[in-house]
Structure 1
């Protein structure tokens, strides 16, 4: 498996790293370039000699340089060299430093598999220890429930005051009004809802219909508060979705024990990375080749560390996913990779009609009213421009039946690569507009930054 130039560009942490990698993507900067069925490697010669490795099995990588960007310019340069000329890294035996690195990675994967097996099939356990641990967990959950309840009641009172006073002047009052409520929710141990409330500042004043969109958000939050008051009466899947939306984490043990296992060949159709303070988040959307199911792998990492799973847009990975408990079941974790990834060369499953896309979104909203986004693939669509003066959404996509949906923005690559011809689009839908995240055209799947 060799990554293409588009995939390497998506892998780069920023434009500066990609530009630096391109400067180093020449044979004169390298020695001991080599490859086999497991890995690529080489020594980049600069102010020091840096050992660079790339794992073909899961697109993992490592460089001995001190850079805090992942991947660094040396890894990007190695991949670019091989993308330009696969023979630049000839087949040869792995040097000791590559053998050692791969051995550590395989040992870590084996430990992970063993740990999952032991969780699924516990052997000798101490019943008293289990009872004590369960009692402690329930006590901590009760304490958190009490703090969350207090925080939501305060938020509900604030919502009533906000509605009573009106929304007209919110755009003039700045983002502080929402930031203060978000801070209080963090203190109440509801960080998930806190993030949502903080983003309301992005709605105010953002268009002629911002009042309607903010009012819809306030209504969904009021519904959430009412649901929390009755959480003990809710079906378990809905209660799970509610807790996760508020900010509860599903433990690894629970996910292994209760998460539905789904085997398929998963197409990486799009990826979005965001950064808040010193924490990065990454949403990677997958579509199953056989069943057409949609899954989202959500990862977090400090600004100077790699994400645990390396997933590259435009690759297809046979794997077992574990779906998180809940009614929608979109979020998932990779439980096991069932072979090396391969480039996508065929269309991904998706919807040929926009009405079918919207019907699936409606089904998910009915099951989970607080769902913020939904993603998938719309097939055989075209770009169209809205000629309405001062339109909030100047660009749309149109299906073969003439139905259309607005785009949040138009990536330059999307317009350049499609040239007015039909294409398949992966996108996130928030109920108002589409955020393009991936494109299939000319038998190649590309990410859209």
Structure 2
């Protein structure tokens, strides 16, 4: 919601759902039937009462102007964020198309009304806390750290990391000397024990990469080649740490970051109109990681926002794809061009509103060259953000069964002879078929991640439109 009264679309609301059951339940509550005393304000708040199974209706209020994404408060007992009532209220607020049978926004969720006391108290407390964070004078003064003590702590940690990297090199050499087949026989315990040693050495970056190796043996056809590739990258990182004094300063900083040492300083906040290009979650048994890609319309910079949640719980940060927000981003590095794309979302100046343009992009040949330059600066890149222009999804090699999903796909340049292969993981997702249907043989603009296994499409725009299609 903005001062101009622009509201989100149903797709942007449903993208906030923590899981499929919540999405289905929220859709059922996206009509005016169970709701009463609904309203919205120019400050970015939406509220309403939803009739439930009890005698008292559930009180639901949402702050859509929160800097970290929409914030929710509901009196229901659900532990999901957002709950089905928050999703239903946002769908009702979205207006026609929000849910089957929903009324127009002017009727269902009127603008300009003052929030009721129960909603106002929550909103005021949230914004008071946000103001305290923005005002450094309001925070208690911190005692300056002892530079000499900090230097000694850094030296002790560097010694531990060096010991861990030396041990890792020895274990990798033992693995290759005995043959990769021994990794399949040893099971996951070998990797978990090695990762624990890296944690003891205060090298969490090395530990995370070691754990990833444990999932490769017996993971399907060609796993020995994949294991060898990842072992080579891990050896390169350990060797880079052991010989960091010989590396150029930017590459040495990259090695320190990949090993898991904190950056010495952060960059200055960058204010821009940040367009949300993609958002998706990955999860393991302990942690859910949310990746949000944003692009600055004025600066032309692309940044990655990361948020984490305990297993089974959605991370706090949530920015619906297709919106744009006037906000500050704080880069993790002083010079983002030298290393890293990570940033934190800082102060937000307006509520998110639908984006009005597509991000600029490159044809496949130029995008491949740009990806190569990024790998030169950081060989351990998991994904590089890339926007391709005027590309058409086409099958690269048919499987012999027509248009079966196990055919290999690529994004071909509509104006040339270059193409980027679609990664195998993306080719097995339904998003690929949405991309093919959106194209219909016509050129598209596609945003995604370049990796060593290919290109993973995450969002697309049909020719001549600015509406973001999430894949």
TM-score range for the pair, normalised by the shorter chain length: 0.7 to 0.9
Compare 258-267 and 73-82 and name the one that shifted more. Answer: 258-267
Aligned in 2, Cα 1:55/1:370: closer, same or farther, shift over 3 Å?
Answer: same
Aligned in 2, Cα 1:47/1:371: closer, same or farther, shift over 3 Å?
Answer: same
- In structure 2, C-alpha distance between the alignment counterparts of 1:204 and 1:61, rounded to whole Å: 43
Query: What is the CA RMSD across the aligned residues, in angstroms?
Result: 2.7
- In structure 1, C-alpha distance between the alignment counterparts of 2:394 and 2:411, rounded to whole Å: 6
- Tell whether the 8 Å contact from 2:165 to 2:242 is kept in structure 1 after alignment: no
Compare 218-227 and 239-248 and name the one that shifted more. Answer: 239-248
- Tell whether the 8 Å contact from 1:373 to 1:429 is kept in structure 2 after alignment: yes
1:421 is paired with a residue of what secondary structure? coil
1:298 is aligned to 2:306? yes
**Alignment partner, residue 26 of structure 2:** 21
1:94 is paired with a residue of what secondary structure? coil
1:365 is paired with a residue of what secondary structure? helix
Aligned in 2, Cα 1:21/1:277: closer, same or farther, shift over 3 Å?
Answer: same
Shift of residue 299, structure 1, vs aligned partner? 1.4
1:363 is aligned to 2:367? no
Give the counterpart of 2:444 among 395, 416, 423. 423
**Alignment partner, residue 419 of structure 2:** 404
**Alignment partner, residue 319 of structure 1:** 327
**Gaps spanning 5+ residues in structure 1: where?**
none
Aligned in 2, Cα 1:184/1:394: closer, same or farther, shift over 3 Å?
Answer: same
Structure-to-structure mapping, 1:379-398, within 5 angstroms: 379-389=389-399, 394-398=408-412
- Tell whether the 8 Å contact from 1:294 to 1:376 is kept in structure 2 after alignment: no
Shift of residue 317, structure 1, vs aligned partner? 1.3
Give the counterpart of 1:146 among 159, 164, 168. 159
**Alignment partner, residue 219 of structure 1:** 232
Structure-to-structure mapping, 1:45-84, within 5 angstroms: 45-48=51-54, 49-58=57-66, 59-83=70-94, 84=98
- In structure 2, C-alpha distance between the alignment counterparts of 1:163 and 1:236, rounded to whole Å: 31
Structure-to-structure mapping, 1:262-301, within 5 angstroms: 262-301=270-309
TM norm structure 1: 0.88
**Alignment partner, residue 179 of structure 1:** 192
Aligned in 2, Cα 1:72/1:303: closer, same or farther, shift over 3 Å?
Answer: farther
- In structure 1, C-alpha distance between the alignment counterparts of 2:247 and 2:228, rounded to whole Å: 25
How many residue pairs align between the two structures?
A: 434
**Alignment partner, residue 242 of structure 1:** 255
Structure-to-structure mapping, 1:157-168, within 5 angstroms: 157-168=170-181
- In structure 1, C-alpha distance between the alignment counterparts of 2:361 and 2:340, rounded to whole Å: 18
- In structure 2, C-alpha distance between the alignment counterparts of 1:203 and 1:82, rounded to whole Å: 46
Give the counterpart of 2:122 among 70, 84, 101. 101
- In structure 2, C-alpha distance between the alignment counterparts of 1:341 and 1:381, rounded to whole Å: 29
- Tell whether the 8 Å contact from 2:132 to 2:138 is kept in structure 1 after alignment: no
